[in-house]
Amino acid sequence: MNSGSETAKHPMTTSPSLTRRILLAAPLLAFAALPGRAFAQSAADAAAAFVAKAGNDLTAVVNGPGSTAEKAQALQTIIDRSVDVAAIGRFCLGRFWRTATPEQQKAYVDLFHRVLVLNITGKVGDYQGVTIVVGKATQRDDGIAVTSMVNRPNAAPAKVDWLVSTESGSPRIIDVIAEGTSLRLTQRNDYASYMSRNGNSVEALIDALKKQAAGAG
């Protein structure tokens, strides 16, 4: 990797505002247009129920007993069960996914998963006292958006939308829109900016993610 101050920046170093959005969203991230109003409604209901269960599982862990390490492990299980990490990773890499070799694609997805989990489980204490109230679900072109209000102690409630897909064969979260900002789109822009400073090199991004996964950034 280049040694200049710009090129040395880690691609997943978050600004205070983005960090706040991540804390609001907790565990991260398309449903094809569905024929028939009745079927679409049942799919929306299923997506809302799925998000409600994921939210209940999350808050039960962070507000329940156990050590920080035990809670982090339980959160990882929820993430792996509820979030389509591979799909989010491909989206975040954008056009560079098509130019990456199969070996780079595998290495990138594995590292993306590890960094995502570390970013979430490393802030277990920040989620203490959080509750999630799920609202309505709406069919969109890119998935089913489930609205919710995230309530935090000593803070105003925050509106968070969860985008759900079943392309993997079962419901999975593929994006979180916190305070009107898509977390996966923000991450894709950060990656694109990072690679543009590093010769559009996927390998440079992989090297940076390795350092983050090892706790170097």
Domain ranges across the chain: 16-213
Give per-residue pLDDT as tens, 90-129: 999 999 999 999 999 999 999 999 999 998 888 877 788 8
SS (H, E, C) the chain: CCCCCCCCCCCCCCCHHHHHHHHHHCCCCCCCCCCCHHHHHHHHHHHHHHHHHHHHHHHHHHCCCCCHHHHHHHHHHHHHHHECHHHHHHHHHCCHHHHCCHHHHHHHHHHHHHHHHHHHHCCHHHHCCCEEEEEEEEEECCEEEEEEEEECCCCCCEEEEEEEECCCCCCEEEEEEECCEEHHHHHHHHHHHHHHCCCCCHHHHHHHHHHHHCCCC
Give per-residue pLDDT as tens, 166-208: 887 789 999 999 989 999 999 999 999 999 999 999 999 999 9
pLDDT at 170: 86
Give per-residue pLDDT as tens, 75-84: 999 999 999 9
- The correct CATH number of 16-213 out of 3.10.450.710, 3.40.50.2000, 3.40.50.720, 3.30.365.10 is 3.10.450.710
